[in-house]
Amino acid sequence: MSATSSHLEGAPAEAIERLGARIRVARLRRKLRQQDLAKKIGRTRATVIAIERGSPKTEIGASVSALWVLGLLQELDLVADPGLDRDGQALSFSVSDKRVRLRQQLNNKF
């Protein structure tokens, strides 16, 4: 599969579907119709339907706008937070990956 393909499978697709389902639940709890949310985010009702279905072709900006309208944008700050990236932190402090410089002979010729 190419990196530009919009077809996702497995864990990434499931994550997008979960996000869409959560946006739908938040919308319903706020008693907003799909067309109401669409108007607030400046998109079409079809886009809201695609967000809620977890379509990987939907622009991430549309989902972020929906989260903002629903008052859930602050939770997005936790996504890929460098302070919570244990693997990344471990790799940045790994001694084995440090650059090693060969010692050069000092040249005392002036």
Which has more confidence, 95 or 48? 48
For the chain, domain boundaries: 10-92
- The DSSP code sequence of 11-56 is HHHHHHHHHHHHHHHHHHHTT--HHHHHHHHTS-HHHHHHHHHT-T
Q: Give tens-digit pLDDT for 35-73.
A: 999 999 999 999 999 999 999 999 999 999 999 999 999
For the cut 60, the answer to whether the pLDDT of residue 13 exceeds it is yes
pLDDT at 3: 42
The answer to whether the beta carbons of residues 40 and 69 sit under 8 Å apart is: yes
- The mean pLDDT of 97-108, rounded to a whole number, is 68
pLDDT at 100: 59
CATH number at 10-92: 1.10.260.40
